[in-house]
Homo-oligomer: A and B are copies of this chain.
């Protein structure tokens, strides 16, 4: 009972911080993506290639990197010229909304742009923690096998997008890609699925298009709201 009460406390506190983050992101018209996956799915490699592409469009970008230890990932991001702040969780298995709030105090979210939050590599814990993001994206490498959506359903059920990564390795694997997609849709029928290779670039344009559309929604919708609000004040 005591354990459950404390868990409820933690979740309620996280929810309040996530709401504050969300209000801030709405005010600054920042599109925020929470990237989650197992360790070693190729999240950072995929993010680096995505940032390089979005930079060529002149997008405003920033990254918050979560890991138990090291600043290896933030270093890789900064090498692209995009600002990144690293959050180390120690023994913790996920980022929470207050960690994001503290990270934003060090590095503001890009107004009118996209903030990527790369969560701790974990297919369980991050699923339960709202960070105030607009979209949750789960990355699963095809090397992990078809059964992962069935065995870790919580993550796949809360996600908006599934990136099936490392498809360049498919000729060398005994994995059934259509079955992996079918298993994911069985858990979450509204999931958008993009099979991609950050190494060869295969499939990446559909992912970039999705990011472009979602960013336009956030940037396009909010200024009108802001203008209307200003008009009212005036």
Contacts and interface: CB of A to CB of B under 8 A. Distances in A.
Most buried by B among A39, A42, A68, A154: A39
A152 interface: yes
A130 to B, nearest CB: 15
A121 B151 contact: yes
Contact of A91 (B9, B124, B148, B173): B124
A9 B10 CA distance: 17
A26 to B, nearest CB: 29
Contact of A148 (B40, B140, B147): B40
Interface residues of A, number: 44
Nearest to A13: B3
Nearest to A169: B172
Interface string A149-164: 0111110000000000
A9 to B, nearest CB: 8
A150 to B, nearest CB: 5
A128 B91 contact: yes
Interface in A46-67: 67
Most buried by B among A68, A124, A147, A173: A124
17 contacts: A2-B6, A2-B9, A40-B140, A40-B141, A40-B144, A69-B152, A70-B150, A72-B151, A93-B122, A93-B125, A121-B152, A122-B123, A124-B125, A141-B143, A143-B169, A169-B173, A172-B172
